[in-house]
Amino acid sequence: MKKSLKIILIVLAALILICAAAIGIFYIRINNPANVFDHLNGTPAPVDVTPTPAQETPEPTDAAATPAVIQSAEPTPEPTPTPISEAELESMADLSFMKNRVNILVLGIDRSEERLESNSFRSDTIILVTVNFKTGDVDMISFPRDSYVKLYNKNGKLIDQLDPYNKINEAFSRGGMMKKGGYQSEMNTVSALLGGIPVNYYVSFDMTAVKEIVNAMGGVDYDVDVEVRMNGRELHPGMQHLDGQGVLDYCRQRKGSSDTARADRQQRMLKAIFNQMKSTGQIANIPKIYKAVSDCIETDLSFEQICALSLVAVRMDAEQLDRHMIAGKFASLYSRDVWLVDREKLIELIKDVFNVDAEIAEDVDGEAILAAAAENNAAIQGELYGAALLYNEAKSITANYSSSLSSGTKSAISSLKSKLATAIRRECKPYLDQYSISMADALNTAYAELGLPQNAYGMLNSYSGGMDYAGGGTFGWDEDDIGDD
């Protein structure tokens, strides 16, 4: 499964979850909505780009641990034909926090077999769903997974002080993943990018949820606009009835397209599904659908909160569901394709959705990032050249003398080779200095073991000018030395 979690349709799963959980849980009706969640008094004006250190993310809600929700033995149950009335749904819902606004981060986590083996999950779908309880409006803000931003940990601090920028989907994995702060890290990173707009909760899904949800609702009628070919399956343009696999293939299609174009298709699919659910009444009648996907969902929303949100979904019109994308442009930076954020358009988006005049730092802007990268490259030509010499010397030594080196020396060179390659590619001077010296030490140890007279320190200051070197240049990287970030 290739990059299975690039599925912005996961928002669909979030909205369906909102409705389904309400029906499956029989709490008494609460008549005063202002009693709970007093900390959510709307969206305050951002004060600092750095997110406030958050409390430890609560343990994800486990549907199996709640007696009121009975697990389904059927993977894709048929939808119940008779819709539950709004009054009955309201009687089962906790309305506790239906005031002002709540911001929920919806994440699609890559749980492919490859990721399971390496335990390196990534949030390949990142959408902020913001619900305005006063107006009934719901906005979805999609963040391209390759957005090049500063990453923050669960405590609101930079994950890497020396090299703070990376793709936004790295915040989840580098922040601790599912059990050690990855969710809070992603929430803080999104909050920082939005100038301090708070992110209150998260909902996380894997790919299985998408297929099962669509199958459980009986499929969806959709006017497919592109040719889709994936793993021997095909979809052709035109109105047709899609099952879960068809929806997933359509939303994953990337060939001949881009991540942002695919995100647009996924959002259009979401609106089509929402409209169909509204017209058939399934928006208020989804307990079996929820059971089918409960094992694929993690969230820190309580069931009471989910039930209250479900009532919003029932009452809202399709026109109240709006969609947005973090504006920017694609560029190649440090041998990686990245999405560079347009700062001015980001400020406009925040004003449009949250009615806040956000203070966004200049270093968020893609043009500023490109300018800083070019300036940095010019300043570290000597370091890049010396590090590249050391890297290639390490390759040569291990290839030609492996059997004559001690296991400790081989291990040290192998580990440093990977770190040095990443430092070169990312053109990060602090790491270039650190790993170049360490590699020179390791190579000198190897020379001593082999009885060779060389001194690796001579490579550190050997650049004499005349050529421009870039971290993404042809230094003959070993494939295993290049991290997939």
Angle between helices 244-252 and 207-216 (to 10 degrees): 140
Q: CB-based contacts of 163: which residues, under 8 Å, 6+ apart?
A: 426, 428, 430, 431
Contact 354, 43 (CB under 8 A): yes
| CA geometry: angle 408, 412, 416, nearest 5 deg | 175
Query: In a 3-state reduction of DSSP, which class is residue 191?
Result: helix
Rounded distance between C-alpha atoms, residue 386 and residue 59, angstroms: 47
Among 195, 171, 166, smallest CA distance to 181 is for 171
Contact 268, 170 (CB under 8 A): no
Structural domains for the chain: 10-362 (3.40.630.190), 380-481 (no CATH)
* pLDDT per residue as tens, the chain (485 positions): 444 433 334 444 444 444 444 333 333 233 332 233 334 444 444 444 445 454 444 444 443 333 333 333 334 444 444 666 777 767 767 677 788 899 999 988 766 544 455 455 667 789 999 999 999 999 999 999 899 999 999 999 999 999 999 999 999 988 887 777 899 999 999 999 999 999 999 998 876 677 877 887 789 999 998 889 888 899 999 999 999 899 988 887 766 667 788 778 878 888 888 888 888 877 766 545 666 677 778 888 877 787 778 788 888 888 898 999 999 999 999 888 899 999 999 999 999 999 999 999 999 999 999 999 999 999 999 999 999 999 999 999 999 999 999 999 999 999 999 999 999 989 999 999 999 999 999 999 999 999 999 899 999 887 766 666 666 554 554 545 545 44
